[in-house]
Structure 1
Amino acid sequence: MKTIATAAITTDVPAQAFFARWADMTTWPEWNTDIEWVRLDGPFRPGATGRMKPKGGPVTRFVVTALVPEREFTDVSLLLGARLTFQHLVTTDAGGSTTVSVRATMTGPFSFFWTAVLGKGIARGLTADLARLEAAARTAGVPA
C-alpha cells in the first residue's frame, strides 16, 4: 500500500455535518472539484456500491468499505489492476472541536501506473477539497 496524499482540518463544525455531506453524494461536485458526478446504488452504508465520473476520466465504480457514523468513512475506487482508497477519520475532542483527516492510498499490481496518473492531482487537491467540504458542511445547517 502506497500513501499518495494526506490532509487534515480541525474545525467547530460537528462530525455529523461531515457525514451528512458524504452521505449526500450528489453534492460531492460542490466541494470536490475533480468530480463531475457521483451516484450511490442504495443507502449510504458499509458495502454500498456506486459510480463516479472524474473530470477528464472514465466512469469508475466504488464501494463503501467502512462506515462508522461520526468516526470513519472509507471508500475504494475500483481501477483496472488497482484500488484507490480514501479513508476519512473524524475525532471530536472534549472541547467540541472536530478533526477530519483524509488519507488516500493505492494498492494492486498496477498501482504504480495509477499513482503516476492520479497521484499528483489528488495530492495537490486534497487539502483544498477538505476546506470546501468543511464550508459545505457548515452551510448545510446540521445541528450540533
Structure 2
Amino acid sequence: MTIIAAARPTSTAAPAAFFAKWADMATWPEWNADTEWARLDGPFQQGATGTLKPKGGPKVGFIVERLSDTEFVDVSKLVGARLIVDHQVGTDADRTTVTVTISIEGPLSWLWTTIMGGGLAESVQPDLDALVAAAEVVTV
C-alpha cells in the first residue's frame, strides 16, 4: 500500500458533526473542490455503496468499507487498484482531531498515483480545512 496524501487538522466541532457531513454526500462538493457530485445508494452504513464523479474524471463506484463512531473508510475500485480514503476522528479536551489518509494498492497503483496522486496530495489539506469550517457550523 502506498500513501498518497494525508492531512490532520483540529476543530472545535464535535466528531458527530464530521460524520454528519460525510453522511450527507450530496453536499460534498461544497467542501471538496475535486468532487463534482457524490451519491450514496442507501443509508450511510458499513457496506453501503455509492458513486462519485471527480471533476474532470470518470464516475467511480465506492463502498463504505468500515464505519464506526471514530472511523469512516471508503474504497474506490479502479482498474488494477483500490483507492482507500481513511477518515478518523478523535477528541482531546475540547478539540477534535480529524485525520484523512489517502492510499492506494494493487498492481496498477503506480499508474493511478501518476495520474491523480499529485492532485490528491495538493487538495487533501484545503478540502479538509473546508470540511472543518463546514462542520463547525453544524449543530448535532
Taking structure 1 as the reference length, what is the TM-score of the superposition? Answer: 0.95
User: What's the counterpart of residue 42 of structure 2?
Assistant: 42
SS in 2 for 1:139: coil
CA–CA distance in 1 between the matches of 2:59 and 2:52? 6
Q: Which one-letter code corresponds to 2:27 in the other structure?
A: T
Q: Is contact 2:11-2:136 (8 Å) kept?
A: no
User: What's the counterpart of residue 92 of structure 1?
Assistant: 91
Q: Shift in Å at residue 102 of structure 1?
A: 0.6
1:125 pairs, out of 123, 126, 140, with 123
Unpaired stretches in structure 2, ≥5 consecutive residues: none
Matched, 1:23 2:36: no
CA–CA distance in 2 between the matches of 1:98 and 1:139? 14
Q: Which one-letter code corresponds to 1:73 in the other structure?
A: F
Q: Shift in Å at residue 7 of structure 1?
A: 0.3
Unpaired stretches in structure 1, ≥5 consecutive residues: none
CA–CA distance in 2 between the matches of 1:13 and 1:20? 11
Aligned-pair Cα RMSD in Å: 0.7
Q: Is contact 2:31-2:130 (8 Å) kept?
A: yes
Residue identity (%): 53
Matched, 1:74 2:73: yes
**Runs of 4+ with >3 A deviation:** none
Q: Which one-letter code corresponds to 1:102 in the other structure?
A: V
SS in 1 for 2:136: helix
Deviations 1:86-108 (A, max 9, x none): 00111011x12100001000001
CA–CA distance in 1 between the matches of 2:99 and 2:135? 15
